[in-house]
C-alpha cells in the first residue's frame, strides 16, 4: 500500500525538462523528494530506504550515510542503492514491505526525484506483469561516455514490441514511465499525464499523477526492452509536491583550477551536525551552539550536552555576493548569514534557487539540503538558503 508520495523538480530549465542546479546531485534531489513523502508521517517507522538511479555520486563507500542524514533518519536504517530506471523503481515499490521509503532520482535528460512511502494503508498497487529482456540500445562505459545504437525502430519492434507481446499487453495504459513523445502516446489513453522525467523517478511521478486523479489505472514502466506493469487501485493518498515554475538557470562562470583538497578528519567530525542540522544544547543553561562546542560560550560548562534539531525556516541576517574568481568554484555566488527560526542560531551558507545578488537582508526562506562542494572526488553536503517565492528573482 502506498501511504504517501513526494515529488521534487529543480527550478531550472524548461517546463518539459528540468536541469539540476550546480549544487544538486542525485542525493540532494532524493532527500528533497523523500522529505516530502515523509511529511506528516512518523520517521521512526521507516525501516528501510531504497534509492534507484543511474547516477550514484559515490560508487565506493556508498551514499547511504549522506542520504539518511539529509532525511533525518537514524543511521541504523537499512539503505539499498540500486542501479536502474523506471522498471526497477516500480518493482522496488511492488516488493517493498511497510515502512519502506522508495526513491527514484535522475540527473537527466529531465532532472527530478520522486519518493513513495509504503505503509499499511493507502493506495493498493499490484503487479500485473514483468518481462526482462536484453536490448542494449543505449550504453554507458566505465568513464561515463555514452553511445546510442540509434535504431529506434529496432527497439520499438524487436525490443519493446516483443516484450509487450510476451506480457500479453494488448490495450492502452493510463500512463507510461520511461518513454516520451509518440512512443508513449501509442501505448496510452488520450488523456495520459505528461511526466517530467524518463528515468527511475518517472515511475514514481506516474504514481503521483494517477493518485491525483483518484481513479487508479495501469502503469507501464519501460527501459529499453524491460517492462514492468502494475495496477493502481482507486482511493486517496497524500501527494506533496515541490515543483515551482521553471526558469532559466543563472549565468555563472566556472573558474578553472584544482579545488581544495578534503580533510577527511574534519569531514567526519562535522558530518552529523552539518547534514542533520543539529545543535548542541547546554544542559546547565540551555544555550544552543552550532556547530557543537565542548565548552559553553555563556556559562562555561563542560558537561555533556544534549542534541536538538534546528528549524529549517530561516531569515537572512546579512549577506554578501562574491565575484572574485576562486579555482574550482563558479562565480558570482551569494553567501548569507541565516538565522534559523527563533533559536538565535545563525549559520553561514550559500544562496540557492535564485540568482546571485537577488535577495535582501530580512528575506525569509528555508534551509535545503545541497552539495556544498566536491573535494578530492568526495561530495561534501550541507545546507543552503532557499528564498521564499516573493524573494526569488530570475536570472
* Overall domain count for the chain: 2
222 and 359 belong to one structural domain = no
237 and 259 belong to one structural domain = no
CATH of the domain at 128: 3.40.47.10
Q: Tell me whether the omega of the peptide bond preceding residue 286 falls within 30 degrees of 0, making it cis.
A: no
pLDDT for the residue 119:
93
CB pairs under 8 A, 24+ apart, for 384-387?
Answer: 384/23, 384/349, 384/350, 384/351, 384/352, 384/353, 385/314, 385/316, 385/336, 385/338, 385/349, 385/350, 385/351, 385/352, 386/352, 386/353, 386/354, 387/351, 387/353, 387/354, 387/358, 387/359, 387/363
Residue 305 covered by a domain: no
pLDDT for the residue 390:
53
236 and 257 belong to one structural domain = no
264 and 155 belong to one structural domain = no
- Whether the pLDDT of residue 392 is over 60: the answer is no
Give the separation between CA 24 and CA 29, rounded to whole angstroms. Answer: 7
Q: Which of 242, 263, 293 is the last residue of a domain?
A: 242
Strands 78-83 and 48-53: parallel
The β-bridge partners of 370 are 382
Give the separation between CA 125 and CA 5, rounded to whole angstroms. Answer: 13
Q: Lowest-confidence range among 13-22, 136-145, 261-270?
A: 136-145
pLDDT tens digits, one per residue of 147-203: 887 777 887 788 888 998 999 887 889 999 999 888 888 899 888 899 999 999 999
204 and 337 belong to one structural domain = no
Give the separation between CA 218 and CA 125, rounded to whole angstroms. Answer: 10
Give the separation between CA 236 and CA 214, rounded to whole angstroms. Answer: 6
pLDDT for the residue 22:
93
Q: Which residues contact 249 (CB under 8 A, 6 or more apart)?
A: 12, 13, 19, 21, 395
Q: Which helix or strand (DSSP H or E) is residue 318 part of?
A: strand 313-322
pLDDT tens digits, one per residue of 235-293: 789 999 999 999 999 999 988 877 778 889 988 888 988 899 999 999 999 999 998 88
Residue 306 covered by a domain: no
62 and 162 belong to one structural domain = yes
Under a CB-based contact definition with an 8 Å cutoff, are residues 163 and 249 in contact? no
pLDDT tens digits, one per residue of 335-350: 999 999 999 999 999 9
Tell me what the mean pLDDT of segment 306-312 comes to.
93
Q: Which of 242, 268, 294 is the last residue of a domain?
A: 242
Query: Which residue range is the domain that position 381 belongs to?
Result: 253-277+312-391
Give the separation between CA 325 and CA 64, rounded to whole angstroms. Answer: 33
Q: Which of 242, 266, 289 is the last residue of a domain?
A: 242
CA atoms within 13 A on the CB side of 367: 28
Answer positive or negative: Cα dihedral of 245, 246, 247, 251.
positive
263 and 134 belong to one structural domain = no
For cell 538565535, what's the residue?
A: 344
184 and 216 belong to one structural domain = yes
Amino acid at each position: 500500500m502506498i501511504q504517501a508520495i513526494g515529488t521534487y523538480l529543480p527550478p531550472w530549465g524548461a517546463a518539459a525538462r528540468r536541469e539540476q542546479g550546480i549544487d544538486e546531485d542525485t542525493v540532494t534531489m532524493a532527500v528533497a523528494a523523500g522529505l516530502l513523502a515523509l511529511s506528516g508521517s512518523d520517521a521512526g517507522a521507516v525501516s528501510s530506504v531504497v534509492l534507484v538511479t543511474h547516477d550514484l555520486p559515490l560508487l565506493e563507500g556508498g551514499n547511504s550515510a549522506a542520504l539518511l542524514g539529509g532525511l533525518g533518519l537514524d543511521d541504523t536504517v537499512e539503505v539499498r542503492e540500486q542501479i536502474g530506471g523506471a522498471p526497477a523503481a516500480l518493482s522496488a515499490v511492488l516488493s517493498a514491505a511497510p515502512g519502506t521509503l522508495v526513491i527514484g532520482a535522475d540527473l537527466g535528460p529531465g532532472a527530478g526525484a520522486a519518493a513513495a512511502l509504503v505503509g499499511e494503508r493507502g493506495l493498493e498497487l499490484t503487479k500485473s506483469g514483468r518481462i526482462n529482456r536484453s536490448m542494449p540500445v543505449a550504453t554507458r562505459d566505465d568513464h561515463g561516455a555514452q553511445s546510442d545504437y540509434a535504431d529506434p525502430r529496432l527497439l520499438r519492434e524487436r525490443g519493446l514490441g516483443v516484450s509487450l507481446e510476451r506480457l500479453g499487453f494488448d490495450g492502452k495504459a493510463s500512463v507510461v514511465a520511461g518513454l516520451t513523445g509518440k512512443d508513449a502516446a501509442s501505448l496510452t489513453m488520450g488523456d495520459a499525464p505528461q511526466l517530467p522525467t524518463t528515468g527511475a523517478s518517472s515511475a514514481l511521478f506516474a504514481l503521483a499523477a494517477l493518485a491525483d486523479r483518484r481513479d487508479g489505472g495501469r502503469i507501464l514502466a519501460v527501459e529499453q526492452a524491460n517492462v514492468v506493469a502494475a495496477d493502481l487501485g482507486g482511493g486517496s493518498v497524500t501527494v506533496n509536491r515541490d515543483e515551482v515554475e521553471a526558469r532559466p538557470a543563472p549565468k555563472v562562470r566556472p573558474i578553472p583550477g584544482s579545488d581544495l583538497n578534503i580533510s577527511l578528519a574534519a569531514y567526519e567530525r562535522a558530518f552529523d551536525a552539518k547534514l542533520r542540522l543539529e545543535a548542541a544544547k547546554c544542559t546547565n543553561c540551555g544555550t544552543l551552539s552550532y556547530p557543537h562546542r565542548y565548552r559553553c560560550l555563556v556559562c562555561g560548562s563542560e558537561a555533556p550536552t544534549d542534541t536538538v534539531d534546528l528549524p529549517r525556516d530561516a531569515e537572512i541576517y546579512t549577506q554578501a555576493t562574491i565575484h572574485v574568481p576562486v579555482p574550482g568554484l563558479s562565480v558570482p555566488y551569494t553567501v548569507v548569514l541565516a538565522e534559523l527560526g527563533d533559536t538565535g542560531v545563525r549559520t553561514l551558507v550559500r544562496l540557492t534557487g535564485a540568482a546571485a545578488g537577488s535577495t535582501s537582508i530580512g528575506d525569509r526562506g528555508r534551509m535545503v539540503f545541497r552539495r556544498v562542494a566536491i573535494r578530492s572526488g568526495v561530495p561534501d553536503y550541507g545546507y543552503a538558503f532557499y528564498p521564499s517565492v516573493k524573494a526569488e528573482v530570475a536570472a
